């Protein structure tokens, strides 16, 4: 059950943001063994003064369309699944809403199964 946080500059349309949600969900379903309806995502928008990135860090040219994607997930996926997820996310987001692959930073934060409560104060996966 990934929990996904997207950070980006403000000013994009609702359709643009929905395309990000839909694309991330699709990529996770295709590569990360995410079950149907497992959609827990937020987008937080920042003005220019509150959003900073290295415009050429690691030899990658970035623009103000940069988005940060942080995925909190259980530590049950292989390195190959993670690599496939990274590739699929940038492919889908390049198609719609048209984000350059250079403008997508992805970070996965993993935790143990017992660190999750899906509601009712229960540790459903423990």
Taking only the tens place, the pLDDT of each residue in 2-39 is 999 999 999 999 999 999 999 999 999 999 999 999 99
Task: Please give the Cα distance from 69 to 12 (Å, whole number).
Answer: 16
Closest CA relative to residue 89, chosen from 101, 77, 80, 78: 101
pLDDT in tens, 66-115: 999 999 999 999 999 999 999 999 999 999 999 999 999 999 999 988 88
Q: Is 2 a catalytic residue?
A: yes
Cα torsion at 74, 78, 82, 84 (round to 10°)? Answer: -140
Task: Please give the Cα distance from 25 to 38 (Å, whole number).
Answer: 8
Domain borders along the chain are 3-115
Considering the four listed CATH numbers 3.30.429.10, 3.40.50.720, 3.40.50.10420, 3.75.10.10, the one that applies to the domain covering 3-115 is 3.30.429.10
- Catalytic annotation, pick one of 1, 2, 47, 106: 2
Q: What pLDDT was estimated at residue 123?
A: 86
């Amino acid at each position: 059950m990934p929990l996904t946080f997207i950070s980006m500059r403000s000013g994009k349309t609702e359709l643009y943001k929905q395309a990000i949600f839909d694309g991330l969900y699709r990529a996770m379903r295709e590569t990360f063994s995410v079950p149907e309806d497992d959609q827990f995502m937020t987008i937080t928008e920042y003005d220019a003064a509150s959003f900073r990135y290295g415009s050429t860090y690691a030899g990658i040219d970035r623009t103000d369309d940069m988005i940060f994607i942080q995925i909190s997930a259980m530590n049950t996926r292989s390195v190959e699944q993670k690599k496939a997820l990274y590739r699929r996310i940038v492919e889908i987001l390049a198609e719609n809403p048209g984000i350059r692959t250079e403008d997508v930073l992805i970070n996965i934060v993993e935790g143990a199964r017992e660190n999750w409560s899906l509601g009712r104060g229960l540790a459903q996966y423990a």
